Structure 1
Amino acid sequence: MDARRIDAALVGALLREQFPAWASLPVRPVVPGGNDHRTFRLGEHLSVRLPSAPGYVPQVTKEQAWLPVLGPLLPLPVPAVRGVGRPSALFGAPWSVYGWLPGEQAVAAPPDDPVALATELAALLVALGEAPTDGAPPPGEHSAWRGGPLAHWDDEVGDILGRLEGRERDRAAGLWRDALAAPSTVRPRWFHGDVSFHNLLVRDGRLAAVVDFGCSGVGDPACDTVLVWTRLQGAARRAYREGLALDEGTWARGRGWALWKALVMLTNTPPGQAELARHVLDELFAGV
């Protein structure tokens, strides 16, 4: 699978092969289109989503199986499966056709009322956590081990901490130790796994939809707290915390997830991520 080959021409060929009724609709890439998957708008009311590498293929079949189950239980729109694409000689992995969800990413179109967004998002995550779990996927490679024990990333974090210096290294190491030691008393439940302003759609200034359930699964919801340190401030942060109503151990593990992500962004990603990583570290060190 070569992500460079995933373009509008390939999508058009796949539609002619498997969904000829949609083959005459215009195809145009969605920008920004994401890293794990590539998304294209199909006509006015549909979208096409293809995995960009073999490691993301399990996310496709998971979403196809579970979004029809979860969607009706949630208070905001999420992607609705309209077509299940099969592997073929054109593209050797499953792929999906979804209904188009109007709106802009919150990272590009911040909400008019951040408190309302935080409250509504927390309500969606609570509803998600109450969804049936029988047969649902536990944490694993499909979720980047989100929802599982933080200890999975202990070696990686230890390696990155060794590259930091002085007080910053010591404070980060202390946060990580506390997160690893935080007791887990929360029952396994559905989590989103990638609660980011990139995956929240805003329309007319309000939260309109939540997308990208590729990292979702059933396990520890601590990973869904990270938005507190990445984007939320003040009253919006308090509303999110109150809405999720999680215990202190879960918030401590959430700080671990935020720390892990910030350290990865700081050391292993393009320079554009460094500013956000520094912001997250500052928030964590401030004890919020």
Structure 2
Amino acid sequence: PLVWAVHRWIEGRNPVEGDLAEPELVARDLAEFAVAIRKIDLPGGPPAHRGEPLMAEDQEMRAAIEALRRTDEPFDADEITAAWDEALAAPLWTGPACWTHSDLMPSNLLLAGDHVSAIIDFGTVGMGEPATDLIPAWNLLPAPVRRVYREAADVDDATWARSRGWALSMAVIQLPYYRTTNPIISANARHVIREILETST
């Protein structure tokens, strides 16, 4: 009684944060995808799952920070709040809405050898702003490679700052929810929070 489909099998493996043999190759592949999808000239599409301004996440984000504060996770809630406020202060996207995947988590990527072989799970695709497709900078790529990704994706300072906020909000909201039920997502959420709190924009 539900909607379903049969898809062809795509060979590949999910990447793991901190375990990329050639992270620069992955960074360039992901940037190529991010640029290609935002250049698609197909107006009138549906809004992306994360198609609103970052401020739309504020209420849920602050509730998640408080939930995280009540756990035994080793993160400073005040530092997270400060990083979140910094992201919210970035100028808003003023360009036209563009196509985005908006959920480039490691579990939605496949690698073959040292290259990205596929992007999967297009359930969140739609029109929004390009910052949402830069989250692999924080959830997958090591800090020394982020500049490669940013330069290849060709984005300005404000878009980069908002991408940091999107990655942080996804991680902080996911962690209290998945911390005891999904070890892969919760481990990645912890990784993102650590990376953002330990590095500057």
Q: State TM-score, norm by structure 1.
A: 0.60
Aligned residue pairs total: 190
Say if 1:147 and 1:217, in contact at 8 Å, map to a contact too.
Answer: yes
Alignment counterpart, residue 35 of structure 2, candidates 118, 123, 126: 126
Deviations 1:28-64 (A, max 9, x none): xxxxxxxxxxxxxxxxxxxxxxxxxxxxxxxxxxxxx
User: SS where residue 202 of structure 1 aligns?
Assistant: strand
- CA shift for structure 1 position 230: 1.3
Q: Which residue of 1 aligns with 2:87?
A: 179
User: SS where residue 6 of structure 2 aligns?
Assistant: strand
Q: Which residue of 2 aligns with 1:229?
A: 138
Q: Which residue of 1 aligns with 2:76?
A: 168
Q: Which residue of 2 aligns with 1:276?
A: 188
Q: Identity over aligned residues, as a percent?
A: 35
Say if 1:125 and 1:191, in contact at 8 Å, map to a contact too.
Answer: yes
| Structure 1 counterpart of 2:175, one-letter code | L
Q: Which residue of 2 aligns with 1:25?
A: none
Say if 1:111 and 1:202, in contact at 8 Å, map to a contact too.
Answer: no
- CA shift for structure 1 position 212: 1.2
User: SS where residue 116 of structure 2 aligns?
Assistant: strand
| Root-mean-square deviation (Å) | 2.2
Mapped to 2, the partners of 1:137 and 1:170 lie a distance apart of 36
Deviations 1:51-109 (A, max 9, x none): xxxxxxxxxxxxxxxxxxxxxxxxxxxxxxxxxxxxxxxx23x222223222222239x
Mapped to 1, the partners of 2:37 and 2:167 lie a distance apart of 21
Q: Which residue of 1 aligns with 2:53?
A: 149
- CA shift for structure 1 position 233: 0.8
| Structure 2 counterpart of 1:224, one-letter code | D
- CA shift for structure 1 position 219: 0.9
Matches within 5 A, 1:1-288: 91-92=1-2, 94-107=3-16, 112-139=21-48, 143=49, 146-163=50-67, 164=69, 168-183=76-91, 184-271=93-180, 272=183, 273-286=185-198, 287-288=200-201
Gaps of 5+ in 1: 1-90
Mapped to 1, the partners of 2:113 and 2:58 lie a distance apart of 42
Structure with the largest fraction of strand: 1
Say if 1:230 and 1:276, in contact at 8 Å, map to a contact too.
Answer: yes
Say if 1:229 and 1:284, in contact at 8 Å, map to a contact too.
Answer: yes
| Structure 2 counterpart of 1:175, one-letter code | A
Mapped to 1, the partners of 2:52 and 2:127 lie a distance apart of 9
> Residues 107, 169 of structure 1: CA spacing in aligned structure 2 closer, same or farther, 3 A cutoff?
closer
Mapped to 1, the partners of 2:123 and 2:11 lie a distance apart of 19
Say if 1:129 and 1:189, in contact at 8 Å, map to a contact too.
Answer: yes
Mapped to 2, the partners of 1:260 and 1:234 lie a distance apart of 19
Say if 1:111 and 1:207, in contact at 8 Å, map to a contact too.
Answer: no
Which has the larger displacement, 121-130 or 233-242? 233-242
Say if 1:229 and 1:283, in contact at 8 Å, map to a contact too.
Answer: yes
- CA shift for structure 1 position 121: 1.5
Gaps of 5+ in 2: none
Which has the larger displacement, 130-139 or 215-224? 130-139
Mapped to 2, the partners of 1:202 and 1:224 lie a distance apart of 18
> Residues 112, 281 of structure 1: CA spacing in aligned structure 2 closer, same or farther, 3 A cutoff?
closer
- CA shift for structure 1 position 111: 5.1
